[in-house]
Amino acid sequence: MTKEETKATDVAESSEEAEAIDLDADTSSELDLAMRQALEAIESSERSGAKSSDNDGTPAVADEDALAALRGEAAREREHALRARADLENFRKRVQRERQDERKFRAFDSMREFVSVVDNLERAMAAAGSIDDLKQGLQMILKQMGNLLSEHGVERITALGTSFDPSLHEAVGRHEDPKVTVPTVSDEMQAGYTMHERLLRPAVVRVAMPGSAADGSSGASGTN
């Protein structure tokens, strides 16, 4: 490989390094660094060509032609780097806008489904009828809401009468109950939900605890 081919290869490699940029990192600083590295490689090649000419006293025609070609290549690579930087900056801004829109409208389809529930609630409130009619309408709306939640993977936690589970239940009170042998949910103040088997909200409950009354009663019967 000749000296001119080596210089051209170095310039091309520097240009490729300038384009290999991580879009998720700080693109502005990486682009500046890549451009500086490319320009330094070009300037280094130019200095090497000048030194080679100085060693002979008078620059050779071939060296002058090679240096001119290298400078032209440097100008083209600089213009290419500037265009690439502008394109990458525009791409970064577009991706940022798309991510913002994705976060903003993430629940768009879900909300479009739930507004129909609001429509039915407004109709129920405006309808004339007895309390029983209103209650029946609300039960139908509640069923509609439950179906929508289920379509999105939201399920109600079964709490009442089950063993207390701190990963699913939030206890706000407890009492002794001789009828239970393990901590058991006796009252449900607020329903809990999971979404695709991940806890969405714990159930707020009261817990029945095995009481000393049970031990006392068994001991008394044994004495008699």
Whether 91 and 66 share a structural domain: yes
Nearest to residue 40, comparing CAs of 81, 94, 101?
81
- In the chain, the percentage of residues whose pLDDT exceeds 70 is 67
Q: What is the CATH number of the domain that holds 171?
A: 2.30.22.10
Taken as a whole, the chain contains a residue count of: 224
Q: Which of 14-18, 36-40, 88-92, 136-140 has the lowest mean pLDDT?
A: 14-18
Domain housing 128? 107-152
* Residue 45 or 17, more confident: 45
Using pLDDT thresholds of 50, 70 and 90, give the confidence band for residue 37. low
Question: Binning pLDDT at 50, 70 and 90, where does residue 46 land?
Answer: low
Query: Do 140 and 214 have their domain in common?
Result: no
Provide the pLDDT confidence category of residue 82 given band limits of 50, 70 and 90: confident
Query: If pLDDT is split at 50, 70 and 90, which confidence band does 52 have?
Result: low
HEC-encoded secondary structure of the chain: CCHHHHHHHHHHHHHHHHHCCCCCCCHHHHHHHHHHHHHHHHHHHHHHHHHHHHHCCCCCHHHHHHHHHHHHHHHHHHHHHHHHHHHHHHHHHHHHHHHHHHHHCCCHHHHHHHHHHHHHHHHHHHCCCCHHHHHHHHHHHHHHHHHHHHHCCEEECCCCCCECCCCCEEEEEEEECCCCCCCEEEEEEECCEEECCEEEECEEEEEEECCHHHHHHHHHHHHC
* Residue 36 shares a structural domain with residue 90: yes
Structural domains of the chain, count: 3
Residue ending a domain, among 74, 89, 104, is 104
Is residue 167 domain-shared with residue 217, that is, in the same domain?
yes
Are 50 and 124 contained in the same domain?
Answer: no
Residues 82 and 164 in one domain: no
pLDDT at position 221, please? 38
162 and 84 in a single domain? The answer is no
pTM, two decimals, is: 0.54
Tell whether the model's pLDDT for residue 49 goes beyond 90: no
Together in a domain, 35 and 10: yes
User: Within this chain, do residues 165 and 207 fall inside the same structural domain, yes or no?
Assistant: yes
Among candidate residues 44, 71, 104, the one where a domain is terminated: 104
Q: Are residues 144 and 168 in the same domain?
A: no
Whether residues 84 and 123 fall in one domain = no
Digit-coded pLDDT (tens) for 177-209: 999 999 999 999 999 999 999 999 999 999 999
